Amino acid sequence: MKLVLFDCDGTLVDSQHVIVAAMTRAFARAELALPPREAVLGIVGLSLVEAMRRLGDDDPHFPAERLADLYREAFRELRTEPGFFEPLFPGVRGVLDKLSAREDVLLGIATGKSQRGVAAVLGHHGLDGRFVTIQTADDAPSKPHPAMVLQAMAATGVHAEDTVLIGDTSFDMVMARAAGARAIGVTWGYHPRETLRQSGAERLVSDADTLVGVIDEMWEPVA
Alpha-carbon separation of residue 36 from 28, 39, 120, 134, 214 (angstroms): 14, 5, 27, 31, 34
- Which residue in the list 9, 14, 162, 172 is annotated as catalytic? 9
- Which residue in the list 7, 14, 162, 172 is annotated as catalytic? 7
Nearest to 212 by CA among 133, 98, 114: 98
Distance of alpha carbon 57 from the chain centroid: 22
- The whole-angstrom separation of Cα 24 and Cα 74 is 9
Collapsed DSSP state (helix, strand, coil) of residue 220: coil
Nearest to 148 by CA among 172, 122, 130: 172
- The whole-angstrom separation of Cα 160 and Cα 162 is 5
CA-angle at 2, arms to 47 and 144, nearest 5°: 20
Judge whether 14 counts as a catalytic residue: no
Alpha-carbon separation of residue 33 from 24, 25, 154, 188 (angstroms): 9, 11, 42, 28
Judge whether 9 counts as a catalytic residue: yes
Give the residue numbers annotated as catalytic, written as ranges.
7, 9
